[in-house]
């Protein structure tokens, strides 16, 4: 990912030099397309700025955002052929911008899926799209970022864009998992520090009151996890996918545990170790660059009292889910607790009809995410995790949805990223900034509308005392003071 994102974009393109009559025809075609897809301006909640500078105001008194079209052919590359990836790649190319609330813009997806399910609308669009240029990017187009200019491809064809990540080897093999994790997480610690909290916790925060800032909400999440695990001084905690070490450091400081974290990212491990040393916890906390599948009982590792996995099992894959749960079961002592915190699919209450299923297939949802953000990422249903866990012998003790909390977390991240636009561009380039803004804004909408969810699932392993109380009251008592080291 670093190779793709490290270059800076060139200066803005000079004004459109096409003949006035041609510009007027293209703008009129663009207006027609917008009306076909989104209705007349009077019913829209957003404004549109066309390439000639004209503004089509929203019907709402306060527009949620402005869609700024940069070129005559922007809409043809965004929406034809219909695909989520084309919309995303057009944004990366600066064919358009979203000025304002990106989450609200992502909410147009449902309307687009509905429109693209209609053969009549598809025919209308095809006829109008033919009047727009597909190739109005030129060789010296100053808005195309250097990585695209140097690709040797026709930049007007989004489907051939030479970007994102090309994986090698078998999906979810150890080598390929390490490769895709490095692609996502080794972008640069400085980049993540721009928009994460002080502890750099890259997972859903917890907002007990809803008014917390990001730092307070992430600390509340760490406390919530530790309380659910009922951590006690002297226990051994394993964190699978420990990131930059926020949870294991917190658990050692506040609960007096011995903690081990594993990650596949060298960049994360390096900073986590620095933070462990700075906290004086080297005798209690360690981080290893290691695949969780390589943790074995025959290599000197003790059985863990508690195991936690936060925002990691999305990378496991449905085919490997049973092996993942089985490995955790093997490493956990009898009576121990396992807390799995991750993003899940939320099953629709009403199954989609045949036309809608076809439209969703045509629209190719999630392909942008797989290409540019999380190669090999795969979400599963909560009930699939429960089934595998209980089949292996785990007892389900607690399930909590934090879906709304993740939407709030993502809004904080997007706002902080936007506030540090210049620094982000210096770190990962304009294209990289746009990848992250597009993906996080879209995810905020998906969580807020229930397309995806966040489940915390607590399991106990039979064979010993789980030490769980009779109620959940202990989760909500005032925070305890930090224990003395043992």
* Residues contacting residue 343 through CB under 8 Å, at least 6 positions apart: 311, 314, 379, 406, 452, 453, 454
Residue 169's pLDDT is what?
57
Residue 35's pLDDT is what?
98
Phi and psi at residue 451, in whole multiples of 5°?
-70, -35
Q: Which secondary structure element, helix H or strand E, spans residue 31, and what is its range? A: helix 20-38
Confirm whether 204 is a catalytic residue. no
| Beta strands at 65-69 and 452-460: parallel, antiparallel or unpaired | unpaired
With 50 as the cut, is the pLDDT of residue 154 above it? no
Q: Which of 186-200, 210-224, 357-371, 466-480 has the lowest mean pLDDT?
A: 357-371
Contact (CB, 8 A) for 67 and 47: yes
Name the percent of the chain lying above pLDDT 90: 69
Mind giving me the DSSP string for 326-347? HHHHHHEEEEEEEEEEEEEE--
Q: What is the mean pLDDT of residues 468-477?
A: 93
Name the percent of the chain lying above pLDDT 70: 79
Q: What is the mean pLDDT of residues 409-425?
A: 98
Residue 157's pLDDT is what?
32
In whole numbers, what is the pLDDT of the chain averaged over residues?
85
Which tokens hold the place of 34? Answer: 């917008």
**What dihedral do alpha carbons 197, 454, 380, 446 form, nearest 10°?**
-80
Residue 425's pLDDT is what?
96
Residue 426's pLDDT is what?
95
Residue 195 CA to residue 203 CA, distance in Å, equals 12
| Nearest Cα to Cα of residue 70 among 100, 39, 92 | 92
Residue 316 CA to residue 324 CA, distance in Å, equals 7
Q: What is the pLDDT of residues 351-402, one digit of tens each?
A: 554 444 444 444 444 478 888 887 777 899 999 999 999 999 999 999 999 9
Which tokens hold the place of 77? Answer: 């590359």
With 60 as the cut, is the pLDDT of residue 7 above it? no
Q: How many CB atoms lie within 10 A of CB 304?
A: 23
Cβ burial 56-78 (10 Å sphere, 16+ → b, else e):
bebeeeebbbbbbbbbbbbbbbb
| Nearest Cα to Cα of residue 219 among 234, 208, 232 | 208
With 60 as the cut, is the pLDDT of residue 10 above it? no
With 70 as the cut, is the pLDDT of residue 475 above it? yes
Task: Give strand ranges (E) for 40-82.
Answer: 47-49, 55-56, 65-69
Residue 409's pLDDT is what?
98
Is the bond preceding residue 81 a cis peptide, omega within 30 degrees? yes
Residue 50 CA to residue 227 CA, distance in Å, equals 53
Mind giving me the DSSP string for 169-220? SSTT-HHHHHHHHHHHHTT-HHHHHHHS-TT---S----SSS---HHHHHHH
Contact (CB, 8 A) for 279 and 340: no
Q: Which residue has the tokens 């909410």?
A: 107
DSSP conformation class of 381: B
Residue 412 CA to residue 104 CA, distance in Å, equals 15
Q: Which residue has the tokens 């970022």?
A: 145
Q: Which residue has the tokens 């150890």?
A: 174
With 90 as the cut, is the pLDDT of residue 155 above it? no
Q: What is the pLDDT of residues 263-280, one digit of tens each?
A: 999 999 999 999 999 999
| Nearest Cα to Cα of residue 402 among 369, 437, 440, 448 | 448
Residue 70 CA to residue 147 CA, distance in Å, equals 19
Q: What is the pLDDT of residues 68-125, one digit of tens each?
A: 999 999 999 999 989 888 999 999 999 999 999 999 999 999 899 999 999 999 999 9
């Amino acid at each position: 990912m670093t190779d793709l994102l490290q270059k800076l974009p060139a200066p803005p393109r000079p004004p459109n030099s096409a003949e006035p009559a041609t510009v007027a025809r293209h703008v009129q075609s663009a207006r027609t397309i917008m009306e076909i897809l989104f209705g007349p301006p009077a019913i829209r909640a957003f404004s549109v700025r066309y390439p000639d500078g004209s503004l089509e105001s929203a019907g709402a008194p306060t527009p949620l955002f402005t869609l700024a079209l940069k070129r005559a052919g922007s809409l043809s590359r965004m929406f034809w052929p219909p695909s989520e990836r084309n919309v995303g790649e057009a944004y990366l190319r600066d064919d358009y911008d979203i000025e304002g609330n990106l989450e609200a813009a992502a909410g147009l997806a449902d309307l687009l899926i509905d429109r693209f399910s209609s053969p009549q609308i598809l025919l209308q669009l095809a006829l109008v799209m033919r009047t727009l240029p597909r190739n109005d990017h030129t060789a010296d187009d100053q808005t195309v970022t250097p990585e695209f200019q140097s690709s040797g491809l026709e930049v007007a064809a989004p489907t051939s864009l030479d970007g994102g990540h090309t994986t090698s080897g078998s999906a979810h093999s150890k080598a390929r998992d390490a490769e895709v994790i490095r692609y996502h997480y080794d972008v640069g610690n400085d980049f993540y520090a721009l928009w994460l909290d002080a502890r750099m916790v890259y997972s859903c925060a917890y907002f007990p009151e809803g008014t917390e800032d990001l730092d307070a909400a992430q600390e509340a999440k760490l406390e919530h996890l530790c309380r659910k695990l009922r951590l006690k001084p002297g226990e051994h905690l394993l964190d699978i996918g420990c990131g930059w070490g926020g949870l294991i450091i917190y658990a050692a400081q506040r609960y007096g545990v011995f903690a081990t974290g594993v990650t596949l990212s060298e960049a994360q491990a390096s900073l986590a170790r620095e933070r462990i040393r700075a906290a004086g916890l080297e005798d209690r906390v360690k981080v290893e660059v290691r695949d969780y599948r390589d943790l074995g009982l025959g290599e000197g590792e003790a059985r863990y009292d508690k195991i936690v996995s936060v925002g990691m099992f999305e990378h496991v894959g449905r085919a490997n889910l049973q092996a993942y749960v089985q490995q955790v079961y093997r490493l956990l002592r009898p009576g121990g607790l396992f807390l799995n915190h991750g993003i899940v699919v939320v099953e629709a209450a009403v199954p989609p009809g045949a036309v809608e299923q076809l439209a969703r297939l045509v629209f190719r949802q999630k392909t942008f995410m797989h290409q540019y953000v999380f190669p090999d990422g795969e979400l599963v249903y909560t009930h699939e995790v429960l089934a595998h866990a209980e089949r292996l012998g785990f007892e389900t003790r607690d399930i909590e949805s934090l879906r709304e909390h993740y939407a709030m977390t993502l809004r904080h991240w997007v706002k902080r990223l936007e506030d540090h636009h210049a620094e982000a561009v210096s770190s990962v380039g304009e294209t990289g900034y746009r990848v992250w803004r597009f993906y996080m804004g879209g995810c905020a909408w998906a969580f807020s509308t229930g397309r995806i969810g966040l489940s915390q699932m607590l399991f106990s392993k039979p064979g010993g005392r789980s030490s769980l109380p009779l109620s959940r009251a202990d989760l909500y008592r005032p925070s305890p003071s930090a224990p003395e080291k043992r």
